[in-house]
Structure formats: C-alpha cells, structure tokens
Amino acid sequence: EVQLLESGGGLVQPGGSLRLSCAASGFSFSTYAMSWVRQAPGKGLEWVSDISDSGARTNYKESVKGRFTISRDNYKNTLYLQMNSLRAEDTAIYYCAKDRVAARTMNFHFDSWGQGTLVTVSS
C-alpha cells in the first residue's frame, strides 16, 4: 500500500523559512516523479512544484520561484520542500503527491496523496 506522510509544517512569521518532508513507502519511490500541491484554508487545489524521478528536473509555480526548492533523497525515500521568504499567501495545507505513471517527465496527475501538513504564515 502506498503511503505518503508529510511533516514539518507549523506557524512561521512572514519572511521566515520552513522545510517540509514527505516520507514515502509501499512503492518504488525512485521511479516516480513527485509533486507538492497546496490548498489554502477553504480554497481549491494549487500545484506548487514537481521533481523528476532522478531529481534532475524540477518545476515551480511562478509565484514560488526563487523562494521554494524541491528536492528528494531516493535512498531515504523522502521528498522535501524548502520554503524561504514565506508570505501570508503561502498559508495552506501542503500535500505531497505521486504521479500515476512511472518514469514520466511531464503530464503529471496524481494517484496517491499524503494527509498534508499545515503551514501558517502570520505575525
């Protein structure tokens, strides 16, 4: 059974930093692209960033470019999101999500999601 477990969320002041982690199990982590998708309180879903299976290719939503960095450790089966210069509008539940098909480089859609970790940016 695929399991994705996010951690690292919390309350942070504007301009601060957080590092989210997503521990994966139940599938061959190193063969799937992974993404972070967020959901502001009471709002819809918003793709934030993705990373290829090897970690060589990354993509970001325009509003987080230069502030967020996605990475992965295929030995530890863990996905990360380093978030710097946080803004109030980054407040959301952050989900890690697995692409449905192995070894793809684009056209991602998500067949497994974690329960999410809440990031609150407020003074």
Partner 1 sequence: DIVMTQSPDSLAVSLGERATINCKSSQSLLWNSNNKNYLAWYQQKPGQPPKLLIYWASTRESGVPDRFSGSGSGTDFTLAISSLQAEDVAVYYCQQYYGAPPYTFGQGTKLEIK
By CB under 8 A, name the binding residues for partner 1: 35, 44-47, 50, 59-62, 95, 100, 106-111, 113-116
Whether the CB-CB separation of 69 and 59 falls below 8 Å is answered with no
Q: How near is the Cβ of 3 to partner 1 at its closest, in Å? A: 12
Q: To the nearest whole angstrom, how small is the minimum distance from the Cβ of residue 15 to partner 1?
A: 25
Amino acid at 94: Y
Which residue's CB is nearer to partner 1, number 16 or number 113?
A: 113
In the bound complex, what is the minimum distance in angstroms from residue 59's beta carbon to partner 1? 4
By beta-carbon proximity to partner 1, the closer residue of 16 and 59 is: 59
Nearest CB to partner 1, comparing residues 96 and 121: 96
Looking only at the bridges linking them, the beta strands covering 10-12 and 117-121 are parallel
**Closest separation in Å from C-beta 109 to partner 1:** 4
Instruction: List the structure tokens of 100.
Output: 């449905």
- How many Cβ atoms sit within 10 Å of the Cβ of residue 65? 10
Which lies closer to partner 1 via its Cβ, residue 14 or residue 66? 66
Q: Residue 58 burial (CB < 10 Å; 0-12/13-18/19+)? A: middle
Dist CA 109 CA 94 (whole Å): 16
